[in-house]
Amino acid sequence: MRKQAGFTLIELMIVIAIIAIIAAIAIPNLLSARLNSNETAAIATLRNIISAQSQFQTTARADENNNGVGEYGFFGELSGGDNVRGGATPLTPQVLSTAFRTVNGNGEVNRGGYLFKLYLPDVAGDAVAEEDGFANIDPDMAETTWCAYAWPTNYGNTGNRTFFVSQGGDILFAEDANYSTSGAGPVPGAAFEAGGNDSITDSNANGTSGQDNNLWKQAG
């Protein structure tokens, strides 16, 4: 009678140990790759928002004060999801992806492991969020000013860096700022120079600490 061959306990333990070593090496690398991919995608999305805002403003798609100078818009306007303020129809064709038509109750869009939020100014230059509606937006100020933030939906798992951009077009980031989840992102003045308030007309904290005490640097 032929004796059946099999793995010994020591051999099984060796195999398990090898698998554990491979997993210990591979899993952190996979997580790091996902974080880098999400952050790169967030930067690309912010660049798309810059382009969309530029097209929207220069073509005067919104001109509430009727002075011939265009104003910047919210996600719903840019993506054709909402009527352009001062008008009765959505933007056609839209200048931003239709994914930005889905704005949650906190004025945020969830995309690629990041939350995006956009602000326009009131008459004092203070931030008006999308969930606040159009009423407090100042048409004159909105001709020159806007800003947006992007932060991880789950800090440490979908991203580490928080990003900021404004009408100047420079994308800034704060590393390990620990912003995470909907409704818990940066305050409007977070990436502006320390000592200010919620005005989004102040100077950006490029290379210095912002109002949130995080160091904001220009993204490469």
What six digits make up the tokens of 196? Answer: 């200010």
At residue 220, the pLDDT reads 67
At residue 149, the pLDDT reads 98
Q: Please check the confidence at residue 178 and state whether its pLDDT lies above 80.
A: yes
CA–CA dist 85, 60 (Å, integer): 12
At residue 212, the pLDDT reads 93
At residue 9, the pLDDT reads 74
| Band of pLDDT at residue 159, cut at 50, 70 and 90 | very high
- Run of H or E including 16: helix 9-58
Q: Please check the confidence at residue 165 and state whether its pLDDT lies above 60.
A: yes
What six digits make up the tokens of 111? Answer: 């995309």
This prediction's pTM: 0.86
Sign for the CA dihedral angle at 211, 137, 104, 173 comes to negative
Over the chain, what is the mean pLDDT? 90
Residue ranges of the domains in the chain? Answer: 9-56+110-218
Are the CB atoms for 101 and 113 separated by under 8 Å?
no
Length of the chain: 220
What six digits make up the tokens of 141? Answer: 């100020």
pLDDT per residue as tens digits for the range 70-126: 999 999 999 999 999 988 899 999 999 999 999 999 999 999 999 999 999 999 999
Tell me what the mean pLDDT of segment 131-160 comes to. Answer: 95
Q: Please check the confidence at residue 31 and state whether its pLDDT lies above 80.
A: no
Lowest mean pLDDT among 31-40, 78-87, 98-107, 180-189: 31-40
At residue 33, the pLDDT reads 75
